Amino acid sequence: MWHELNMRKDALTVKLFIYTFLIAGAVTMVLPYLWMFITSIKPLEEIQSYPPSFLVKNPTFEPYEDLFRLVPMIRYIFNSLFVAGAITLFNVFAASLAGYAFAKHKFWGRDKLFFILLGSLMIPWQVNIIPGFIIVKTLGWLNTYRGLIIPSMACCAFGIFLNRQYISSIPDDLIDTAKIDGCSEFMIYRHVILPLIKPVVATLAIFTFIQQWNNFVWPLVIIHTSDMRTVPLALTVLTGQFGANFAMVMAGAVVATLPMLVVYLVFQKYIIKGIAMTGLKG
């Protein structure tokens, strides 16, 4: 009996330690964002007060009004949503098709091609900037949506790997049954494969959207007019032009963070399920 009580006590101690560590980590990660939001609703005199205070005595939303009045933030948000959305839709569709081909079709050089694809993950993305800029300039796509979207439509190796690993676990009997019923390859993909890989598709879509929403270097390279700026570029310009207005800069950062936060909170269950079910199967 005493042994059982000691075991329960040890298990409770371990759980307490784990939860304390997780809560401390969560607070550490959330605190900067909370401070950012609080600063965005502070009057200038409270921001400049010393020592700084975490509480707001006279909250105001004037920095947000100034943000949308002095800066075409709606245009920048539209640009980021359009570019990130288009790239996400294409990459998710192409990655799922390629993953299906690698998982369920046998063709010459399949395994070698797949390992070469995985090897491309080790190539730094920075090496593609100069060749990509030369190609986009030659095609006359500088400062256009085509220049922002099409070069990033190259299907990511990680997305193909994620889909391939998951689709490999789907029984071949389902595909054989669909073939007997007269389904074409695309019908099999549409009606058999796609409904079964929704967690992976949602996970890849979220990762791709967040990555493209935060993309700064490529738009910086090819965009040179204000009407084509994305949100990350807008934040840089905002910091330069209105750097003295800390509340307005923080308001811009909150607006830039909000879409990603909403997307993650809405679809977080798909991220967890997709990663847990995919693992390293295959």
- The full DSSP string for 146-215 is HHHHGGGGSPPHHHHHHHHHHHTTS-HHHHHHHHHTT--HHHHIIIIIHHHTHHHHHHHHHHHHHHHHT-
List of the chain residues with pLDDT < 50 = 278-282
Question: How many helices (H) does the chain have, and how many strands (E)?
Answer: 15, 0
Q: What residues have CB less than 8 Å from 89, skipping those under 6 apart?
A: none
CA atoms within 13 A on the CB side of 271: 11
- Cα(103)–Cα(107) distance, integer angstroms: 11
Classify residue 10 as exposed, middle or buried by CB count within 10 Å of its CB (0-12, 13-18, 19+).
exposed
**Structure tokens given for 162:** 């994620």
- Cα(235)–Cα(241) distance, integer angstroms: 10
Q: Tell me how many degrees the CA angle 161-167-168 measures, rounded to the nearest 5.
A: 90
Handedness of CA 152, 158, 161, 166 (dihedral sign): negative
Task: Centre a 10 Å sphere on the Cβ of residue 129 and count the other Cβ atoms it contains.
Answer: 16
- Cα(219)–Cα(79) distance, integer angstroms: 11
Closest CA to 233 of 213, 261, 210, 207: 213
- Cα(259)–Cα(206) distance, integer angstroms: 11
Q: What residues have CB less than 8 Å from 194, skipping those under 6 apart?
A: 96, 201
> Residue 18, SS3?
helix
Type of residue found at 185: E
Type of residue found at 175: I
Q: What is the pLDDT of residue 271?
A: 65
Q: Are 240 and 53 in contact (CB under 8 A)?
A: no
Q: Are 188 and 179 in contact (CB under 8 A)?
A: yes
- What's the DSSP call for residue 227? G
